[in-house]
Amino acid sequence: MKKDVIKQLIIWAICLVVFVVSLYIGGIQNGPFNENPSPIKNIAFASLFASILIGALSFIFLMYKFVDFSVNKGEEKKKNKIKSILIFLITAPIFPLYILVSLIKSFISRKPKIKDIRWLVLLLNIFIIAPVWLVTYTAGYYVATDEIFLGTRYQISTMNDMNSMAPSFPGKSIHKYYPYKNIFYKLNKPYQFQRGDVVSFSNEITKKSIALNNKPNYFFLKRIIGLPGDIIEIKGGGVFVNNKFIEEPYTLEPNSTFALTGNYKWSKENNLKGLFLEECQKVTVPSHSLFVLGDNRKNSDDSRIFGFVNFDDIKDYLPLEEQKTTYYEGVNPINHSEKWRDSSNDYSTLQQSGKIKCSN
């Protein structure tokens, strides 16, 4: 009985060693292989895949053998295979806990000696099996909630070298985002956008703009100013929503929102049918659409040119409230509002300037 257990543990230990070695070659060493492509890179990827497969099989092997041994109590002729399989399937999700309970029951019924193999099993469970189990569940969580699957966990993205969203999202900075078309979207319960949220999107007009400017293929990132049904108007550099001036601490400069006449002329010459928002022109945001602007109003191609953004064209979003709180990417703190300015005097300054030439 003791030799049989030792044999199984040796086999499992060998599997574990192969798993760690292949994981090192396929995972840790994969970075240099990416920088210097070679035939070894293919071996690294194959090794990484093999490490996952070997690791999974080795743990399944250990789990079943332990359950089978517990059910049959070490008898040479195994008569309870079906029972072993059923218990194995039931206890698989909480296997480390099953080991711990089984050992405690065993210790109560028969006190262990100093060289008892059960001490080794206990140590393996505490220092190897249980930690790996926790890592597995953590990895499963990250995979399941990734953008490709459920899309319920925030992701990290890097801005291109443009500064249309400065100061909140300067060029080449990193930021988090939530996938819009996630599991809730598919269940017809999408996120409800709020004014001030940031969204990334792509449609036929933005794709043409990117191609004409020879820019890299990327999604536009802009801030929501108008929601469905809102009336938008630009006067003297200020933005009015439903006939009320809105304070915008996130803009790079105060009262810097003007109709992009030159940009619109360029877009028309290139057959880009966009919305030209003239001074004092009121537009109503259609249903299922948004009016968006960049924070750097003097250097941003946005709804003033492209028009409204349909909900269906949105890829991801970042709520306004989460832009005001600090979060971490690794050890680096990120807070998008730390460079926002005091906008409390923007309206009085706009009034004193005399640039508002039209009435509400």
DSSP state of 93: G
Count of residues in the chain:
360
Q: What pLDDT, on the 0 to 100 scale, is given for residue 173?
A: 93
How far is it, in rounded angstroms, from Cα 331 to Cα 212?
39
Nearest 5°: the CA angle 296, 302, 304 is 105
pLDDT for 32 beyond 50: no
33: confidence class by pLDDT, cuts 50, 70, 90: very low
How far is it, in rounded angstroms, from Cα 89 to Cα 178?
35
Beta strands in 299-354 (DSSP E): 309-310, 314-318, 327-329, 332-334
Q: What pLDDT, on the 0 to 100 scale, is given for residue 6?
A: 72
230: confidence class by pLDDT, cuts 50, 70, 90: very high
Over residues 176-180, the mean pLDDT reads 96
Report pLDDT digits (tens) over 299-350.
998 999 888 999 999 999 999 999 999 999 888 899 999 999 999 999 999 9
Report pLDDT digits (tens) over 291-309.
999 999 999 989 998 889 9
Report pLDDT digits (tens) over 252-268.
999 999 988 777 666 76
C-alpha dist (Å) from residue 315 to 84, 149, 178, 203, 257? 48, 14, 9, 10, 25
- Read off the pTM: 0.77
Nearest 5°: the CA angle 321, 324, 325 is 95
Question: Which domains occur in the chain, in start order?
Answer: 2-144 (no CATH), 155-353 (2.10.109.10)
Of 236, 160, 242, the C-alpha closest to 195 is 242
